[in-house]
Amino acid sequence: MDTENRVMIMSRDDAELLIYEDRFPESTAVISFIDPKERRLIGLDPVNYKGACDSVFLIEAEDIDRDSWELRGKDFEEFLPEAEEAARFIHENMKTGKTIICQCEYGESRSAGCAAAIREFFFGDGIKVFADFRYLPSQMIYNKMFRALKDTADS
């Protein structure tokens, strides 16, 4: 399979429309980023992938930059504690040939940061995501996921 299509970035609306129209891509694994429960809009539940995709990894993570995170008195190491588990999920699904869909609310920041890390680790071209004007990849997500992909490469 061509590497361009092995990692996709989607918004909530894109994913829900494909599910509704029964056009969700086959042989995929999804990493779905949602706001933490205390910051989530009322009634905004995670995308329901049931029947469309069996391999889903849900991550509650704010769309935040490092300065804002540190202003709250938090250390970078505290951000995205599930990064290594997510990295193992990615490794497992990439080995089986699945396409990885990175999805967040708008498909611009958290999902793009994750997709850039995956593309950089596996294909050496994560810069393509950063260079694409449609995305504003989260550097927090990118750095945590890229490091986790490296740390879990042999596990």
| Ramachandran category for residue 43: left, alpha or beta (phi over 0 → left; psi -120 to 50 → alpha) | left
The pLDDT assigned to 77 comes to: 81
SS3 97: coil
| Structural domain harbouring 31 | 3-151
pLDDT at 23: 94
> What CATH number corresponds to the domain at position 25?
3.90.190.10
Q: What's the pLDDT at 2?
A: 54
What distance in Å separates the CA atoms of residue 125 and residue 103, rounded to the nearest whole number? 19
Using 50 as the pLDDT threshold, list the residues of the chain that sit under it: 1
Number of structural domains the chain divides into: 1
Query: Rounded distance, CA 47 to CA 116, Å?
Result: 22
pLDDT of residue 1: 46
Task: For residues 138 and 108, give the distance between their C-alpha atoms in angstroms, rounded to a whole number.
Answer: 8
* pLDDT, position 102: 98
Predicted pLDDT at 141: 93
